[in-house]
Amino acid sequence: MAADPLQTLEKNIGHSFANRGILHQALCHSSHSGPKTSYERLEFLGDRVLGLLLAHYFYAAFPNDDEGALSLRLHAEARMSTLADVARALNLPDYIQSQTGLDIAGNDGVMADVVESIMAAIYLDAGLDAAKAFLERHWPLNGHSVSRHEKDPKSCLQEWSMQRGLGLPIYRQVSKNGPDHAPQMTYEVKIQGYDAVSATAGSRKIAEQNAAATLLKLLQERTL
């Protein structure tokens, strides 16, 4: 009897699915099935599950870090290149269904999206503890080694924009709420030709950095 290829993948992932259908969906590119039955909705959920798990991990592992340091650690583990590395270590290109001729293996954006989709599939199949086990098994989780000289999201966004002749990103305060000792500030960032993206945090610096990180991720995905 021929071996079931998904059993090999489940072994690589470290999770056996009770609902195989959701694993199939997590591996289905829109070029193969269309957006309604592709991994896109799962990727949306998986991005949030991953963010929660990483935030909790670094919050517990680095009790002396402030919000800014924790954000840098999280962004390092959630950025596209890290997720693409996880995808290739799991040999995901061998399992993704897509239109013939697409360079799935060489596309970091697709690789990252599928990892997030699998994160969501595990979460829906077996809950947050199973998703946490997936994270701890396959992510480097070496946020402690993030260099203080590593470019922050605002610097990276500025480089992206300037390289394309779009000028400097523009930041603007949208709102400020809460007491002076615990404010919640919302800032947005905009680049010429693209919609603004906003983020809320306890300081202007972190709100701007988080908004820049979100916009940069969206721009990189759109230009793949």
Catalytic positions, written as ranges = 47, 116
Quick: pLDDT tens for 69-99. Answer: 787 788 888 888 889 899 999 999 899 988 7
**Cα dihedral sign, 56-57-59-63:** positive
Q: How many CB atoms lie within 10 A of CB 219?
A: 17
pTM (predicted TM-score): 0.67
- Asked if the model's pLDDT at residue 27 lies above 70, the reply is yes
Query: 153-222 adopts what CATH topology?
Result: Double Stranded RNA Binding Domain (3.30.160)
**Residue 202: C-alpha distances to residues 53, 55, 126, 153, 171 (Å):** 21, 16, 34, 17, 16
Q: pLDDT at position 54, please? A: 95
Q: Which tokens go with 161? A: 């924009």
Q: Percentage of the chain with pLDDT > 90?
A: 46
Which tokens belong to 177? 């709420």
Query: Does the structure show a pLDDT above 50 at 176?
Result: yes
CATH architecture, domain defined by 5-143: Orthogonal Bundle (1.10)
Summarize pLDDT for 116-159 with one digit per residue, the tens.
999 999 999 999 999 999 999 999 886 544 444 456 788 889 88
Evaluate whether 207 touches 200 at the Cβ level (below 8 Å). Answer: yes
Taking the CA atoms of residue 25, residue 29, residue 32 and residue 33 in that order, the dihedral angle to the nearest 10 degrees is: 50
Question: Rounded to whole angstroms, how far apart are CA atoms 147 and 72?
Answer: 10
